[in-house]
């Protein structure tokens, strides 16, 4: 197990060179450098704890991630350095495209980025909740609320409307009293934002869940290959069927 420390402050990350000296900055788009060969496959990396202490006296540990790369296990401590903004450190966003940055450092940045999910609780006039049985992805064979990953440059409300149409074949309108998605839509604007890391590898998810109360129960057309069937459940039955932590919390809080 190789140990590294990912010190990050306001989008800046501490990188060192092969000898543990730093800080150093990456070069976006770099694919080659003098002396690059099997003996010099990279120039910059995350420091270990003893190297980091020479530059940062204190930090606050946030979590530890463990993952495998090329048959080698790595342990990365994510921590907040207790210093002022470190101007000479590396911008987190520029590390991804520099091939001279060690793969562990780039993988660590990738894992620290939020995965955004948007979901919607759709209720009929009797309070029954629409759920779909999933045919692929993380919750294969389970009942979930309509929803999924957000597209690039997509507001969570727009994503939830899109997912309801794609997965269930129904058109909905989510209340947006403040026009957060660009247009004011009347209603109470109920929403729930949740964050969770589910595995030791450290992938982080943020879920936005909205509520839509329909004036009548619509016909549904589950998406072929993604949703095997759709059904309406009472509140308690929906809570019992739900497998996703985000779904369970969203349904529970509506009681």
Q: Dihedral, CA atoms, 128, 228, 211, 147, nearest 10 degrees?
A: 170
Q: What is the pLDDT along the chain (255 residues), one digit of tens a residue?
A: 999 999 999 999 999 999 999 999 999 999 999 888 777 899 999 999 999 999 999 999 999 999 999 899 999 999 999 999 999 999 999 999 999 999 999 999 999 999 999 999 999 999 999 999 999 888 999 999 999 999 999 999 999 999 999 999 999 999 999 899 999 998 888 899 999 998 898 999 999 999 999 999 999 999 999 999 999 999 999 999 999 999 999 999 998
Query: Could you tell me the two tokens for 181?
Result: 């998605």
- The reported pTM is 0.87
Name the 3-class secondary structure at 80: strand
Q: Of 73, 98, 123, which Cα lies nearest the Cα of 13?
A: 98
Q: What is the pLDDT of residue 138?
A: 81
Is residue 129 within 8 A of residue 247, CB to CB? The reply is: no
Is residue 20 within 8 A of residue 51, CB to CB? The reply is: yes
Q: Of 143, 253, 168, which Cα lies nearest the Cα of 209?
A: 253
Is residue 95 within 8 A of residue 12, CB to CB? The reply is: no
Query: Could you tell me the two tokens for 61?
Result: 């540990």
Cis omega (within 30 of 0) on the bond before 14? Answer: no
What is the CB-side half-sphere exposure of residue 211 using CA atoms within 13 A? Answer: 17
Domains of the chain and any CATH numbers: 2-112 (3.90.79), 114-252 (3.90.79.10)
Q: Of 148, 179, 181, which Cα lies nearest the Cα of 165?
A: 148
Q: What is the pLDDT of residue 37?
A: 79
């Amino acid at each position: 197990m190789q140990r590294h420390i990912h010190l990050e402050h306001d989008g800046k990350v501490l990188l060192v060179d092969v000898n543990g000296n730093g800080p150093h900055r990456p070069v976006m788009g770099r694919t080659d450098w003098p002396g690059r060969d099997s003996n010099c496959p990279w120039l910059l990396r995350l420091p270990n704890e003893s190297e980091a202490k020479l530059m940062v006296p204190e930090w606050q540990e946030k979590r530890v991630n463990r993952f495998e790369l090329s048959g080698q296990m790595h342990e990365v401590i994510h921590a907040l350095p207790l210093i002022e903004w470190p101007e000479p450190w590396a911008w987190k966003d520029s590390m991804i495209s520099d091939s001279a940055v060690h793969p562990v450092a780039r993988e660590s940045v990738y894992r620290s980025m939020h995965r955004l999910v948007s979901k919607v609780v759709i209720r009929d006039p009797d309070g029954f909740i629409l759920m779909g049985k999933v045919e692929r992805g993380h919750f294969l064979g389970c009942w979930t609320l309509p929803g999924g990953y957000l597209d690039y440059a997509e507001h969570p409300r727009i994503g939830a409307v899109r997912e309801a149409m794609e997965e269930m074949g129904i058109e909905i309108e989510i209340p947006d009293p403040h026009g957060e998605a660009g247009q004011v839509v009347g209603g109470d604007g109920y929403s729930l934002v949740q964050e969770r890391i589910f595995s030791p590898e450290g992938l982080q998810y943020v879920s936005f869940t909205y509520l839509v109360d329909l004036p009548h129960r619509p016909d549904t057309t589950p998406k072929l290959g993604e949703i095997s069937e759709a059904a309406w459940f009472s509140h308690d039955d929906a809570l019992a069927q739900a497998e996703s932590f985000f779904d369970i919390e969203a349904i529970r809080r509506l009681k």
